[in-house]
């Protein structure tokens, strides 16, 4: 899943950049779309709404049922198109929407596409009447906000936490001292070369990719070489050179295979790995990250799956009515029950059904301190520059020098993007 989040943004930006369409036209289109939606006194009947679904399995089944129920109630028709295996990813939406051939509504859009699509004018802002920010954690609201406007409705959140082998570790570590003791005794691994996984440490020590001002990101203020980020990179190197838990070549797949084989007691991943670990018959649990050496919580990246409305759709009122039906409390409850996706609504995260499930409670609790992946186009430059992390971890450069190189390369990448 972490690859999916990253590659979705990467592929989309490449498509937009090659087409020469990253422009400032989003505001005008978005404002118009929002106005049309909020002024509609009622949802017209007899319309055909095209819904693209970027989810398979039980998610697709549930979304299909929800959409058909909405259509029956409103006297409309919903044409559902399964896109979850589309090899072109979300750049396919950009291409289609740009030429007027896109869907009216898209279900399953990762939030980090919002900045790109909003900038080009491919997303309608969510009408104010259709979104209550108090129902979500602030981080979720920030995830779907671009330049002060909400561009999609959240329905699922994902982040990383600690998978641990219950036969080796009876009680998961809550602080760094306990964590080191367990890792030394039973082993620990994660994908150190991936910024997605590293951000739990970087953010926890006070580093950041782009400075956030109440959810508005400043691409000119990069905090990946400040004192906190350097502390995080130093600790990452110590995991290899001092504690010998892993080496820089360890990937997420390697960590999972070692965990399933019983060779390590802990590794980092998200809810997407639960089915494989269960199938392997491992007696495991999931816990939030322990507090870091500075006594503060780790802050892993968070992804938010959302539903968006095409700014070029001619059925805005009906589109938003359908979008709400796919993301309301009943829908999120159903998708948690059937597909085990962690709901975005605070009321459901805090409900007994989630809190009584130890595995999902861990992820839900972790999202409270998680940081949404930056949703602005400049984030592509950060993904492209993260190869320097391996040089830091393996000792080819000092943490400070490597951090400086990281920031320098991001700035160069942003210049190339022209943003």
According to the model, what pLDDT value does residue 44 have?
79
According to the model, what pLDDT value does residue 24 have?
30
Tell me which of 3.40.1410.10, 3.20.20.120, 3.40.190.10, 3.40.50.300 is the CATH number of domain 2-158+303-372.
3.40.190.10
Considering the chain, tell me which residue range(s) the CATH 3.40.190.10 domain(s) occupy. 2-158+303-372, 160-301+376-417
| Helix 227-241 with 195-204: angle, nearest 10 deg | 120
Q: Is the CB of residue 17 less than 8 Å from the CB of residue 116?
A: no
According to the model, what pLDDT value does residue 26 have?
31
According to the model, what pLDDT value does residue 17 have?
40
Q: Is the CB of residue 69 less than 8 Å from the CB of residue 61?
A: no
**Token pair listed for 35:** 């106005």
| Mean pLDDT per 10-residue segment, the chain (419 residues) | 43 41 32 40 83 96 98 97 94 94 97 94 97 96 94 98 98 99 99 98 99 90 99 98 96 98 98 95 98 98 98 97 98 94 95 91 95 96 97 97 98 89
Architecture of the domain defined by 160-301+376-417: 3-Layer(aba) Sandwich (3.40)
Distances (CA, A) of 48 to 44, 77, 280: 11, 5, 45
Q: Is the CB of residue 399 less than 8 Å from the CB of residue 44?
A: no
Q: In angstroms, how far is CA 264 from the centroid of its own chain?
A: 27
106/117 Cα distance (integer angstroms): 13
According to the model, what pLDDT value does residue 419 have?
61
User: pLDDT, tens digit, for every residue of 243-261?
Assistant: 999 999 999 999 999 999 9
Q: Is the CB of residue 112 less than 8 Å from the CB of residue 8?
A: yes
User: Which residue matches tokens 């920031």?
Assistant: 407
């Amino acid at each position: 899943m972490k690859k999916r989040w990253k590659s979705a943004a990467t592929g989309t930006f490449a498509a937009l950049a090659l087409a020469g369409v990253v422009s400032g036209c989003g505001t005008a289109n978005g404002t118009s779309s929002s106005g049309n939606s909020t002024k509609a006194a009622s949802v017209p009947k007899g319309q055909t709404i095209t819904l693209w679904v970027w989810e398979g399995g039980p998610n697709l089944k549930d979304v299909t049922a929800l959409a058909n129920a909405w259509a029956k109630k409103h006297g409309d028709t919903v044409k559902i198109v399964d896109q979850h295996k589309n090899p072109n990813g979300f750049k396919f939406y950009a291409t289609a929407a740009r030429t007027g051939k896109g869907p009216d509504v898209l279900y399953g859009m990762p939030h980090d596409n919002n900045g790109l699509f909003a900038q080009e004018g491919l997303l309608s802002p969510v009408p104010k009447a259709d979104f209550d920010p108090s129902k979500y954690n602030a981080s979720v609201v920030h995830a779907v906000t671009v330049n002060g406007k909400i561009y999609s409705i959240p329905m699922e959140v994902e982040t990383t936490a600690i998978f641990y082998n219950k036969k080796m570790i009876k009680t998961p570590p809550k602080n760094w001292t306990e964590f080191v003791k367990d890792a030394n005794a039973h082993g620990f691994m994660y994908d150190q070369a991936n910024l997605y996984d590293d951000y739990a440490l970087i953010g926890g020590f006070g580093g950041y990719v782009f400075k956030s001002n109440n959810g508005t990101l400043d691409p000119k203020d990069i905090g990946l070489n400040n004192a906190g980020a350097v502390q995080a990179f130093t600790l990452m190197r110590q995991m290899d050179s001092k504690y010998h838990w892993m080496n820089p070549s360890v990937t997420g797949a390697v960590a999972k295979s070692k965990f399933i084989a019983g060779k390590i007691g802990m590794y980092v991943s998200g809810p997407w790995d639960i089915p494989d670990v269960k199938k392997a018959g491992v007696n495991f649990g999931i816990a939030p990250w322990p507090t870091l050496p500075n006594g503060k919580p780790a802050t892993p990246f968070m992804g938010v799956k959302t539903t968006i409305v095409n700014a070029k759709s001619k059925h805005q009122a009906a589109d938003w009515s359908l979008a709400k039906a796919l993301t309301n409390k009943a829908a999120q409850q159903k998708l948690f029950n059937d597909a085990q996706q962690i709901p975005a609504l605070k009321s459901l995260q805090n409900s007994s059904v989630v809190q009584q499930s130890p595995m999902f409670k861990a992820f839900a609790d972790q999202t409270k301190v998680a940081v949404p992946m930056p949703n602005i186009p400049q984030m592509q430059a950060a993904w492209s520059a993260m190869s320097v992390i391996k040089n830091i971890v393996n000792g080819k450069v000092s943490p400070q020098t490597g951090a400086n190189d990281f920031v320098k390369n991001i700035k160069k990448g942003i210049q190339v993007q022209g943003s």
